[in-house]
Amino acid sequence: MAENASVRRSQHERTRATTGALVAAARELFIGDGFSATAVDEICARAGVTRGAFYHHFSNKEHIFREVYAAEQEALSMTVRQAFRARQDPWDGMSAGCRRLLEASLEPAVRQITLVEAPGALGWSAMRDIQAGCKEQVRRGLAIAIEAGCVPDRPLDPAASLLYGGICEIALDIARAPDQRAALEDSLTELDLVLAGIAHRSAPGCSHTK
């Protein structure tokens, strides 16, 4: 019995190692060469894995890109959570998380995988499914701020959709801007104004409060 469990564990570990190597190799190639220019054979060669092993774990190139994209979204979610938790005031945390989400659009890997390649490789429907975790974070952040009395009570779903959808669209604009740094700074200024309106507070730099 113990021997069978050990065999299963060993098989599981080998599977994780193989899929991990493939996903890591694919990520590097998608960032460097783009989705269209990357071939399955190149992913296999970089990972040191046979084509047979690739197709044992992934049905095609789109499938492995989906895994790469999902991992990037999870990493983004983690950085947003860290930004939120670093602030005592829930609404300050919400603001910090939203700002961090936008700031990440300047990171080369994030920009290439999530903003440049994903729309063509996955399509909007698949992207939205995978992004559901990040959107839920925005919704939960709003809920916590409302529960704490930092923000007036409001319907959560439309507020979260408007806020998260706007951030995603702005991130795409930043990724395509000739001067990405300037586009980010302008976008952060507008984000502060939108968040101030939601919270009925003054935006940073304003001389009055509501």
* C-alpha torsion sign, points 42, 47, 49, 54: negative
Q: Please tell me the predicted confidence (pLDDT) of residue 34.
A: 96
Q: Using 50, 70 and 90 to split pLDDT, how confident is the model at 137?
A: confident
Q: Please tell me the predicted confidence (pLDDT) of residue 8.
A: 53
Alpha-carbon gap, residue 5 to 117, rounded angstroms: 41
Which segments of the chain belong to CATH 1.10.10.60? Answer: 1-58
Mean pLDDT of the chain: 88
Alpha-carbon gap, residue 26 to 33, rounded angstroms: 10
Cβ 141 vs Cβ 96: under 8 Å = no
User: Is 3.40.50.1360 the CATH classification of the domain at 1-58?
Assistant: no
For 89, the 3-state DSSP assignment is coil
Q: Using 50, 70 and 90 to split pLDDT, how confident is the model at 133?
A: confident
Cβ 43 vs Cβ 64: under 8 Å = yes
Q: Please tell me the predicted confidence (pLDDT) of residue 205.
A: 42
The conformation of residue 115, written as its DSSP 8-state character, comes to: I
CA angle, 167 then 173 then 179, to 5° = 125
User: 62-199 falls under which CATH superfamily?
Assistant: Tetracycline Repressor, domain 2 (1.10.357.10)
Q: How far is CA 139 from CA 124, 142, 193, in A?
A: 20, 5, 19
Kindly report each contact of residues 86-90 with a partner whose C-beta sits within 8 Å and lies 24 or more positions away, as own/partner. Answer: 89/148, 89/150, 90/141, 90/144, 90/145, 90/147, 90/148, 90/150
Statement: residue 206 has pLDDT above 80 = no
Statement: residue 66 has pLDDT above 60 = yes
Which segments of the chain belong to CATH 1.10.357.10? Answer: 62-199
